[in-house]
Amino acid sequence: MRTIMLAATLLAGTFLASPALAQQVATETPIPAEAGQMPAGKLDGSVVPQTYRLDLTVDPTKDRFSGHVEIDVDVKKAGRFVWMHGRDLKVGKVTAMVGGQPVAGTFRQVDPTGVALVTFDAPLPAGKTTFAFDYDAPFGEGPAGMFHLKVGDDWYSWTQHESIDARASFPSFDEPGFKVPWNVTLRTPEGLKAVSNAPEVKTETANGMTVHTFGQTLPLPSYLVALMVGPFVTVEGVVPPTPQRSTPLPIRIVSTKTNTGKLDFALEGTKGVVQHLEAYFGQSFPYPKLDQITTPILPGAMENAGADLYADSILVMDDKASTAQKRNFGMIVSHELAHQWFGDLVTPAWWDDIWLNESFANWMGFRIGNEWRPDLNIGAGALAEGFGAMGIDALIAGRPIHQKIEKNAQIDAAFDTITYGKGGHVVAMIAAFMGDTKFRDGVRGYMAAHKYGNATSAEFFKAMAEAAGDPRILPAMQSFTDQQGVPLVTLERAGPQSWKVTQSRFVRYGMKGPDTTWGIPLCMRQSDVRQCTLMTDKTTTVTLKSMGPIMPNAGGTGYYRFELPAKEWDALIAAVPSMSGSEALAVMDSMNASFYAGRLTSDQLIAGSRALAANPDSYASGGATGLLQAMADRGVIAESAKPKFRAFVDGLYAPQLKSLGLDLKAGAHAGDDPEKQQRRVQLVELLAGTARDEALGAKLSTAVDAYLGGDAGALDPALFGAAFDAWLGTHKLDGAKALMDKALASEDPLFRPAALGAIGTTGDAATAKWLLDEFQDKRLRQSEKLNFVRYVVTTPETRDWGYSWMKAHLDELLNGGAGIFFGARLPQILSNFCSVAAADEFDGLRAKFAGKSGALELERTIERVRACGKIKDARGADLTAAIAKLK
């Protein structure tokens, strides 16, 4: 699974649907004592599934779907009661075959997370039997379980089952450790296509419906089962044979009719990614076919075995697409297809090991994406994401990468920046320290030992240690996966060419963290001299016999921050413009962290921003003024100094844009190399947004007028966001209404979300109130509705009003229905507040989040807001003064 934005799939406020059935769980009837205690997480193991047969009738135009499900099971413990899963299912008939005779039962959901109790009329003996269920259930409107959506003039349905949403599609034993074959039949209205994990082996007509029969799958857990129905369009091809695979691999790109003619790029790109992955793993693609499917509302992508699902914008493009969109394609497709081996072929035994699944795939996504298209510089994005994760990991409230998961409510919280960003960076660090070949051999050994089965982190660590031939690797890896926090390595001069290095846990200003020690693969560089050591003690001494500034994180691959004496900081900052992008990112992170810790001066922070802006790497230069922008948005920089700050940003970037040149027309710069294209887009966004460059804003607004007037070539899609922002800055509420109508009439995967995002972030109070209190239109999707809440609350000018609205509707937001990881991430939208008083206010929300997946994120948010308030009180005046004196 790879998410690319805050998931938002619930309705909010005036948008809210009636409470989900999960909130109407029958609790009046007590659970019989003989059934035992309800499992809060793992089932009790008294019944183990062996094979599933799904026969579902799916008409996406309807409100509900229906099915007959048979599960061959092994009853380990005789009795009348069976714990399993089902959420919002209306189960009409339950039977178990015992000695050739049916035993009737009843199905009752007893918990909102979908824990169900089946009670049979007579005890079931231990041994093999078959459960059968007849049921119907509602389609979801957000990407959880089986969901449907009208796109253009047609209805489609898809499934999204990770993490525990398969139970909303069919009765099941919905755990990753239950990995078995599946037999799928989908009955659909005539003329519709159906897609599942295995190839379709038979199609026939019965009772006016088309019956699609699929071959039996290889062993899969329930969360990887895919069931898609609709009038899809497809483009088809094969991945030619490779040294690892002797026969062609059939592949298709499957999408809605609105994307006809825009799928060839994805088809050709997928072929290349598959070939690179087969070479890395040293074995063929694990499944008999590959479908790459798109939907407009998934906030990312999902690795269903042989049937990956993606947001439209990830796959739907052509050769003229922006560098950012192509980078997303390369990274995310590589990530999801890496899962076909690492996650699907070998699956975590339980959700506490999902970090390994996602962290490895994240690392592979950047690595293989970079191999597929080196010109896109995809690989550098891995470090940018890893350093981004440090902002979360540095908090006292948090979790390690590898954590015990004992309750269903904890599962979705494991799919966060720690798992993806930190986990991927730690994998990259260990791979770099071990050496690429040894690390790859360890991966191959792990895959071979657990093929088509389940495995644990301990088994992965064992494979790595054996491949490395170094027993220190295991405890070093575990120090990063099993402990929370970011290491800080502090350098002090110990001699003319030697340094005393001390490790501690990084904390922000005004905070105190526990005493922690890691096994840090420490790599330092001075000029061309590089030295690496595994630092396991609190202190060590490093000697570098060279000249020039010291770089404590050579290559930027280390998951740690560093601190330097003031003069060394000055020397390192001066060297940033000529550094590699990866090292510049490492400097940027440690520099910003030092300011947040109260050490780096305001003048040094400003000097660092200048230096980073001059670095040629788009990741480094694009984030050069990011911390200063955050300080401005959060009020650390006072209003009186903000004109000077905008002028500073304009002075940094306007000459660069002038040098590159700017033509706003679609495809005008398609011939430039990808880095140059990306740099130009970043410059436009920074100058039109952060700097509020009036001349550029006027130019963008004129292009929007032409575009909305019917000239589709007047504005390049890569500039939609910046251009719509500028246009709405002058057109306000009337413009928002006009742009909304255009957006809702469109299914373009770039225009529609960009337009809606601009409307939500105008900062205009009247527009915010219209969006959340007044606007209703059936064309607006649930995810889009809730995104407006996020946009309004995170925009500085509407932040306070947005929070008041959110607080008034919090019960509805938390209980209004299911959405992929929504509850776990809801508190994130409060993170732009910056005061001790705001943190104290958010303390009062704890009771609302208690026992829910968002409880941890709320604690993180409270701490982040309080720490920001402390740095504002301590350093706001100094930073404001430093900005005010800029010329």
- d(CA 645, CA 642) in angstroms, rounded, equals 5
- Rounded (to 5) percent helix, strand, coil in the chain: 45, 20, 35
- d(CA 86, CA 109) in angstroms, rounded, equals 7
Compute the C-alpha angle 285/290/296, nearest 5°: 135
Taken in order 450, 162, 280, 439, the sign of the CA dihedral is negative
Say whether the peptide bond before residue 504 is cis (omega within 30 degrees of 0): no
The single residue of 336, 385, 563, 863 carrying the catalytic annotation is 336
Q: Report the b/e string of 696-709 with b at 16+ CB within 10 A.
A: bbebbbbbbebbbe
HEC profile of 380-419: HHHHHHHHHHHHHHCCCCCCCCCCCCCCHHHCHHHCCHHH
Contact at 8 Å (CB) between 161 and 33?
A: no
Show the DSSP H helices in 763-828 as ranges: 765-769, 782-794, 799-808, 810-815, 822-825
* Closest to 397 (Cα-Cα) out of 542, 481, 513, 503: 513
* Closest to 101 (Cα-Cα) out of 130, 78, 79, 73: 130
> Residue 793 half-sphere exposure, CB side, CA atoms within 13 Å?
18
Give the tokens for residue 523.
């790599």
Give the tokens for residue 316.
């739907």
* CB atoms inside a 10 Å sphere around CB 262: 21
Give the tokens for residue 595.
């300011």
User: Is 336 a known active-site residue?
Assistant: yes
Give the tokens for residue 788.
């407006």
Q: Determine how β-strand 487-493 pairs with β-strand 561-563.
A: parallel
Task: Specify the DSSP element, H or E, that contains 150.
Answer: strand 145-151
- d(CA 697, CA 423) in angstroms, rounded, equals 40
- d(CA 383, CA 555) in angstroms, rounded, equals 10
- d(CA 355, CA 351) in angstroms, rounded, equals 8
339 belongs to an annotated ligand binding site: yes
- d(CA 819, CA 797) in angstroms, rounded, equals 28
| 3 state SS of 873 | helix
The DSSP bridge partners found for residue 561 are 488
Rg (CA), the chain: 27
Q: What are phi and psi for residue 688, nearest 5 degrees?
A: -75, -35
652: CB partners within 8 A, 6+ apart: 609, 610, 613, 624, 625
| 3 state SS of 123 | strand
Residue with tokens 């003039």: 153
Tallying the residues shown for the chain, one arrives at 887
Residue with tokens 């005539």: 190
- d(CA 718, CA 670) in angstroms, rounded, equals 11
Give the tokens for residue 455.
């495995």
358 belongs to an annotated ligand binding site: yes
473-481 vs 457-468: helix crossing angle, rounded to 10: 150
Q: Which residues are annotated as a binding site?
A: 335, 339, 358
Q: What residues are annotated to the active site? A: 336
Q: Which residues are annotated as a binding site for Zn(2+)?
A: 335, 339, 358
